Every structure is written in C-alpha cells, then in structure tokens.
Structure 1
Amino acid sequence: MAIKITWLGHNAWAIDTGSGRLLIDPFLDDSPTSPVTADAVEADFVLLSHGHGDHLGDTVAIAQRTGATVVTAYEISLWLTGQGIGAKKVIGMNPGGGVDLPWGRLQMTPAHHSSSLPDGTYGGVAMGLLLTINDKRLYFACDTSVFGDMRLIGAGGLDLAVLPIGDLFTMGPADSIEAIKLLEPAKVMPCHYGTFPPIEQDAGAWADLVRHETRSEPVVLAPGESLAL
C-alpha cells in the first residue's frame, strides 16, 4: 500500500501509512503557511524532533484531543507529562535509539541544532527521524546542518529524504546539495523555508541544482500537497 506524505508547511508533515496516521512537528495554528488548523487533523502518533515552538507547535492540544502517542526526546517527554499528557502516551528517546511501532520502525538520528521548550525548559538534543514503513525508508533531517555521518544514515538506501533549505537556522540550499550527495536518496523534498521572510528560498532553483549536481529526484510540494510512495 502506498504511503501518503502531505506537507503542512515549515517542517510539519502528515503521513498516512495505511496502518497509522502520523504527524511530524505539528506547527499549525501559528504557522502562516499551514493549510490546516490543529483541530482539523487526526493522528495516532506525533513525532517531535525538538522543542522549539515552530516544531512543538500544537503537539499538546493534538495529543490531548486525539489520544495520539508522542515520540520525542526523553527530556521533552517528561515535560509533556507535566502538560497533562499521560505517561503511557509519551515515548522518550535519544539519538541512535529505535522503537518498533504498529506502523513500522522509528530511529532517532543526530541533528546539529539547539533545543529548548517555549517556557525555557531544557529540551534535550534535537534529532532527525528515520522511518521504515512498508519496506520504505524515509529520512526527515528536521532542523540541522549538514554533517558527515549523513552518509551512514543513507547507507541502507533511502526512498525519500526531506531536508531543510531555509538557511540562517538550518542548512541552506548549497549545504543541502552536499547532504544529498552523502545521503543519495531516490527522492528528496525541501522544507523549513518560506514560512517567514528570513528563510525565504527559491525552491524551483533548488530543484534545478538537485537535478544538475546529484542523482536524486527533487520533489517540491506546496503546503497541502502530497507525495505517494
């Protein structure tokens, strides 16, 4: 069965695996580019890369309304229980750790980025997400710079990599090309750009660079559009 991946703007994603509904970094109500509001989405799992407000977003409200399980950094999992999310509905992890879930497997990967929660609470370390779903391997780099160990993440083969290109807070377009060369995914999608003026980028020009300098196929979505794998 095809996996449906929908971009909700910034680094927010909805994934329908056929056996589960996933949300990644659901920054929705305060996002100027989200095509949906937090009360309109459904989820069985929320995968949260780090604690910054433009990623944590509406996690608490969505988890409370839907009963979704939140998988995130160990420190954030403790903070979430203090926000009224039941301890059985959070899974705290660290980079390199993996967990088998009803829809597949999630492994947390390193990400070179800071992490804190909106109230200033320490958010542990930022992480990327490596998902194995229906024999497909999907890597969401989330907020990070390029780093050499991306070659190890891609070593098992990647059907899709999702990389930030906004610059300033994450890698920009040029460094994303270097990341693609390390990861060697079949397809690659950009994210974390165009949400606010400081991270405006030309995604069409980025896609031309990908075609010219790598062997990966670029896929550029508008918020609300989907890719089937």
Structure 2
Amino acid sequence: MTRTILLFGDSNTHGTMPMPDLGAGARFDRDERWAGRLAKLMPDWEVIAEGHPGRTTVHDDPVEGAHRNGLTVLPALLESHKPLDVVLVMLGTNDLKQRFSVNACDIALSLERLVRVILGSDCGPGRRAPGVLLVAPPPIEEVGCLAGMFAGGAAKSRQLAAEVAAAARRAGVPFLDAGQVVRVSPIDGIHYDAEANPALAEAFAAAIRAHFPG
C-alpha cells in the first residue's frame, strides 16, 4: 500500500535557488529539487511538497503577507491531503528575519506548537494522527542580498539545532539536524546550492525508513 508524506516547509522545500539579487526567486527543476529526488528514492510513498517561500512558523509577516504564517495554513493542508502517514516539518529559517525579533528558543517552541497541531489532528490513516519528523534547518549566514533582512540571525541560527532537538524530545517525535547534512549557499546565506539536493533527499529517505518502517 502506498503511504503519504507531506513536506511542510519554506523556500528550501519549494526549491528556490540561491538569489544573487532580491526578487530573483528562480527554482530548481522538479527532478533536481530535494523533494523530487526524495520521491524517486521512495517509490512506495506519495511525496507531497508543500514549500512556501517566506513561510514562518507562527508569525504573520507584516512585509510579505499574513498568508505566510505556517500555523494558519497547516490545518487546511493536513485536511486537504489526508490521510497522511508522516509530516516532515522543516521551518524556522524565516523566523530569523530581524523583523520578528525572536530567539532560537522561541523558534523551537513555535515548531513544537506546529508539531502538536499535527499530533492533535485526525489526519492520519484510520483517523489517527500522522507521524512527524521534525527537522532543524542549517545555520544561515549574513551575506549577499538577504544580509540586511536577516541581520542578527546567523548567531541565533547556530543555536537552533539544539533547541529544536529539545522540542522534538518534548513532543516525542524523531529529529534530524539538516545542518549536519548541508550548508547554505555563500551567494545569499539562506538557500541551498544544487549539491545539497541529493544529500538532503538521501538523508530524509534514510530517516523516514528508520523511524516509520510501516
């Protein structure tokens, strides 16, 4: 039986390429994105990529729009794609924008809130809750055209993996540190270069098979 995983993320799940200039926003081809590669590595799963550039954990963005609030859209996505066996959550990078004024602990608590929404839903098989794989995004760098937007975020981002790991333990869900797998591009310090895509896909496939053997 085919199982289903929802990839709930931001521009790095969307497949946005590193940006040499603000507003560039080019996207890797479907088969090159890590989500597309993951689907090929896991042919017995339906892989649904739900990456929205600019998506935050729980914040309405006063500049880019309230619709980028992950907490607001999550229940609808869970219901529209159910039954879901697993939800992979990789968010938090956009929370590092200076405009939100939150620290690594707050970002992890926000991720934990998202996890608890998923675990409290009936959107899994048999009206149970889906499983969750919580992922800490890699640390960012303040370089290029996005440096001003993320001012102060690099130092916070280096504390994020430990905080998100603690949130995963509190919620009782498996955790993966993407910073142990990939690094951000030196072009804009936020997005991933092409070589990150196969590495992420392989790491996620291994984690999903290990934690959700079926």
Shared fold, TM over 0.5: no
The two structures have a TM-score, normalised by structure 1, of: 0.39
Q: Which has the higher contact order (CA 8 A, sep 6+)?
A: 2
Greater helix share, 1 or 2?
Answer: 2
TM-score by length of 2: 0.41
Query: Per residue, is there more strand in 1 or in 2?
Result: 1
